[in-house]
Structure 1
Amino acid sequence: MKALISVYDKRELDKLVAYLVKNNYQLLATGGSYQYIRDRGYQVTRVADYTGSAEMLGGRVKSLHPKIHGALLARDDVSADMADLKAHDIEPIDLIVCNLYPFENKLSENLSYDEMLEFIDIGGPTMLRSAAKNHKFKIVLTAPEQYDDFINRRDYDIDYRRRLAAGVFSLTARYDRLIADYLAGAETFFDYRKKSDLRYGENPHQSAKFYVNDKGFISDFEQLNGKPLGYINLLDINAAYALALEFDSPACAAIKHATPSGVALGGDAYEAYVKARDCDDVSIFGGVVAFNRQVDEKCAKELSKMMLHIVIAPDFDMAALSILRKKENLIIIKMNSNRVETRVIRGLSGGLLIQDEDTIDFAQFDVVSQTKPTDALIAEMKFAYKVVKHTKSNAIVASKDGATVGIGGGSVSRILAAQTALDTTKVIDVLASDAFFPFDDVVELAHRHGVKAIIQPGGSVRDRDSIKKCDRYGIAMVFTATRHFRH
């Protein structure tokens, strides 16, 4: 048997080569792969020596040769193909191990146009496509992550080969899309790959699949406990962790149906959770909680007292995991990344909407009332405003001491959202709104509930009415000049 190796990414290559040699594969390799294998003491033939054609054009032409592509494309069960190989003194190649020049990685390095052209792989995709087309008789490995499966398999059946071949054409299609968009000066939007089938969609009668790219945290997590994830689970995980990541201090975000039910800051994960839970100890039942800090044993013990569906954190200590795993159905998610995608894509019936991610910039923080907020109130306003950004419009958030005390979201009118958020016996310091007040009725309602400061974008033709009412009641009001609708 013969294996052809041509890889840029040499992770795990030592393990694979050792396995191939042990199983009597003859090794062919191009340039750098040849040198790498030879330096480790293995017998390997340089592709240029095998084909009788030296590499040329500074390495641009290495593997584009009939002895390579004939060996990859020949069908074992077609006698004419076998006769052609014999006539041209070509031996079949059974396995190809190939990955491509890292064109995508180089996009972020601000290389010149000519430098980028040198990272367009020609020989690699050509070999991959040849072998993938002939996958009935060939095996194609394109990533180090595939090596263990190949090594541990007892049977390289047609389903396995077909799956690898599908991966090849997905890889080359995406690779070509990146290059085409670079040359055209366009942005690549559709760089997603399927990660898994889901149990079901929003409802059990709906099928669903999960696709990822490498640009946000949702593409890089580990599930440490619980049932396979469903569509709603992923929506909630995304909403909860994105909200937790808004804060530098330890934070906990409790979510139900992708909507915050309680959010709080604390000295550690435990304190943040207790405060977030107490924001609304009814809605949190069966909900999702996310942390921006490690969950420790003390926090886990408190979490275990509540019926929760999902717990998310950047890490869990072993004692915490031991406690939480006693709940067999509790989904535990360890996030390995804090990356936040810079664009949002929403599906329509026959279309897509693409926009920049909503971000907060307090640079235009403008106190418009006669009453000036204290530093403590300013910090509280910023906290509440970050929460209201993640609440479905129309949205109002009431808070005190780094914790929400009322959340009104998804309302058809702003005054109704305010009534929902302020419907509490708790003391309220701050009210935050995702959009301007069309009338001064929200300020009037806030005054009745003892609100000390209001933060909102401003921009209404009746802003002056709201400001006057704040001045009348001694309420501090800040305009941010940026709306944060969420639909």
Structure 2
Amino acid sequence: MSDATPIRRALLSVSDKTGIVEFARQLVAHGAEILSTGGTAQALRIAGIPVKDVAEHSGFPEILDGRVKTLVPQVHGGLLGRRDLADHLAQMQEHGIAPIDLVAVNLYPFEATVAKGASFEDCIENIDIGGPAMIRSAAKNFASVVVVTEPEQLAEVQAELVQGGTTLALRRRLAQAAFARTAAYDSAISTWFAAQNGEEFPRRLSTAGLLRQTLRYGENPHQRAGFYTDGSQRPGLATAAQIQGKELSYNNLNDTDAAFECVAEFDQPAIVIVKHANPCGVAEAESLAAAWDAALRCDPVSAFGGIVAANRVLDAEAAERITAIFTEVVVAPDADAAARAIFARKKNLRLLLTGALPDPAAPGTTFKSVAGGFLAQSRDAGRVTLEQLKVVTRRQPTHQELQDLIFAFRVCKHVKSNAIVYAKHLATVGIGAGQMNRVESSRIAAWKSEAAAKAAGLDRPLAEGSVVASDAFFPFADGLETAAAAGASAVIQPGGSMRDAEVIAAADKAGLAMVFTGMRHFRH
């Protein structure tokens, strides 16, 4: 390698010591002097590797309980001094500053400290100062200095060492990764600090992601895409292990997330089938197999090639039913051995196991890009309970209707607006999504219930005797009248329209029971 730069002096100070001993051993074998601090120096000495303490190198002792140990000219001058400028070299010689050609630093585990619920004081003490400063100094001077911030980068450097030194291309790539790492670190700190200060939307909001997968393309083949994790560890795609199947696409990931977030809403065994980010069948039952049968009945046509989510460990009975039709992705907290063996027969089917379910009531922030920026909002963690329902009609809903009303409204939360959901016996029987007016959504849902009934060989629409949920209020009585004509017996909606009285009167005239939630679930 004609542009290879040898490493004569390296500073190693890592909290994650994976691979560091072998790396240091190879550096020494290539003639490098090792500088180190604290636990890293101790680990290297135990391994028999010669180490010089940074304090000895700099002539300045560690002070303030270790808060200051590398923030000295002998370290930063050695990193920032340009080897191609005679004036820099002269100043370094004048002040006794030796060049440092490599820095391997991974930062104090601030994110992990916060994640385990540590005290405010412990979190503050796990804010690294010297580490980011060294990383940024080394990265700025990438022309001469190589910076390592992740254990998996060690192998790349080692591979070049055996050929005489590091290349400029590698140093540039690692410099970019270094600045990204310190940016993500600062983002985590500022986000945590804002929460501690009670600032939900601070003046400057920074986010960071770690690339988990480069995708073949985005929503369409002419778009590029990547899947990033945000470090929050919310159970779902970020925690999922892909057990089998083809590579996941952008649309697979988007639809799978929609399905898994929806299925987490339910307490009994539940199945959600999603197509194009909308549920096309949802059901709760005593078993996953029974829930599958009920969910599939709602829209067997759309379910073909869909995404299936379960909120329990998948068993053989459920697996046999799911694999009876073409399915793109199955996601669940886990699957037993028998179920895995059944899914394995479908080699292209993607099986994702997340280890847990997301908490639908947990706080969080969601983002949507717009021209020149992005919108941020708290996650829709609203959940309506029976106690919160306000009956506004003369007829009171029955016990079964109340159970179905709550179920339908939870499904509605995950259907694109305008959303109308018909449900009966804890299963959807008609879903209308994404229409420009609520009447059309209601008509589509009713039509789907008729089509599903025909597919099941029934002579009555599935919506007959069902309840109907609307994600927002009925602005006019016509949407409710359409539901009544479809056979619905009870209605759940947020209420709050200027024409509530008119809509209530229409419900009373049709003999419907209707409840208001006071909570809207728009989803765009």
TM range, smaller chain? 0.7 to 0.9
Name the CA shift for 1:78/1:299 in 2 (closer, same or farther; >3 Å): farther
Shift of 1:339: 4.3
Shift of 1:149: 6.4
Greater shift in the superposed pair: 14-23 or 190-199: 14-23
2:180 pairs with 1:170 = yes
2:217 corresponds in structure 1 to: 200
Cα offsets for 1:226-263 (capped at 9, x unmatched): 34333322221221111111122222111111111111
1:329 corresponds in structure 2 to: 348
Name the CA shift for 1:236/1:457 in 2 (closer, same or farther; >3 Å): same
CA distance in 2 between counterparts of 1:145 and 1:365 reads 54
Cα offsets for 1:266-302 (capped at 9, x unmatched): 3333332232222211101111111222223332222
Name the CA shift for 1:101/1:225 in 2 (closer, same or farther; >3 Å): same
2:480 pairs with 1:458 = no
Cα offsets for 1:292-348 (capped at 9, x unmatched): 222233322222221112222222334433433443432332325644672221112
CA distance in 1 between counterparts of 2:485 and 2:345 reads 46
Name the CA shift for 1:304/1:116 in 2 (closer, same or farther; >3 Å): closer
2:334 pairs with 1:315 = yes
2:364 pairs with 1:360 = no
Match of 2:251 among 209, 219, 232: 232
Greater shift in the superposed pair: 274-283 or 466-475: 466-475
Structure 2 residue identity aligned to 1:254: I
Name the CA shift for 1:90/1:439 in 2 (closer, same or farther; >3 Å): closer
Structure 2 residue identity aligned to 1:131: A
Retained in 1: the 8 A contact 2:54–2:69?
yes
Shift of 1:63: 0.9
Retained in 1: the 8 A contact 2:24–2:49?
no
1:129 corresponds in structure 2 to: 136
1:371 corresponds in structure 2 to: 395
CA distance in 2 between counterparts of 1:51 and 1:291 reads 59
CA distance in 2 between counterparts of 1:410 and 1:445 reads 17
Retained in 1: the 8 A contact 2:314–2:336?
yes
CA distance in 2 between counterparts of 1:65 and 1:289 reads 57
Q: What SS does structure 2 have at the residue aligned with 1:219?
A: coil
2:53 pairs with 1:46 = yes
Match of 1:268 among 287, 308, 313: 287
Retained in 1: the 8 A contact 2:184–2:209?
no
1:350 corresponds in structure 2 to: 372
Retained in 2: the 8 A contact 1:221–1:337?
no
1:27-426 → structure 2 map (5 Å cutoff): 27-35=34-42, 37-38=44-45, 43-73=50-80, 92-104=99-111, 118-144=125-151, 146=153, 157-178=167-188, 182=193, 187=202, 189-195=205-211, 196-215=213-232, 216=234, 217-336=236-355, 338-339=357-358, 342-362=364-384, 364-423=388-447, 424=450, 425-426=461-462
Shift of 1:68: 2.5
1:445 corresponds in structure 2 to: 482
Shift of 1:115: 7.2
Shift of 1:479: 0.6
Shift of 1:222: 2.9
Structure 1 residue identity aligned to 2:370: L
Greater shift in the superposed pair: 162-171 or 28-37: 28-37
Instruction: Report the TM-score, using the length of structure 2 for normalisation.
Output: 0.81
CA distance in 2 between counterparts of 1:469 and 1:399 reads 21
Name the CA shift for 1:151/1:406 in 2 (closer, same or farther; >3 Å): farther
Greater shift in the superposed pair: 313-322 or 286-295: 313-322
CA distance in 2 between counterparts of 1:150 and 1:282 reads 54
Task: Note the residue ranges of structure 2 that are not aligned, 5 or more in a row.
Answer: 1-7, 451-460
Tell me the number of residue pairs that the alignment of Structure 1 and Structure 2 aligns: 483
CA distance in 2 between counterparts of 1:374 and 1:149 reads 67
CA distance in 2 between counterparts of 1:235 and 1:328 reads 21
Shift of 1:167: 1.4
Greater shift in the superposed pair: 77-86 or 248-257: 77-86
CA distance in 2 between counterparts of 1:392 and 1:84 reads 65
Shift of 1:170: 0.9
Instruction: Report the TM-score, using the length of structure 1 for normalisation.
Output: 0.87
Retained in 2: the 8 A contact 1:268–1:293?
no
1:21 corresponds in structure 2 to: 25
CA distance in 2 between counterparts of 1:346 and 1:171 reads 23
Q: What SS does structure 1 have at the residue aligned with 2:303?
A: coil
Cα offsets for 1:457-481 (capped at 9, x unmatched): 1112222233234334443211100
Shift of 1:89: 6.1
Retained in 1: the 8 A contact 2:507–2:513?
yes
Q: What SS does structure 1 have at the residue aligned with 2:301?
A: coil
Retained in 1: the 8 A contact 2:26–2:158?
no
Retained in 2: the 8 A contact 1:220–1:336?
yes
Shift of 1:86: 6.8
Task: Note the residue ranges of structure 1 that are not aligned, 5 or more in a row.
Answer: none
Retained in 2: the 8 A contact 1:224–1:333?
yes
Cα offsets for 1:47-66 (capped at 9, x unmatched): 21232211123322201234
Identity of aligned residues (%): 41
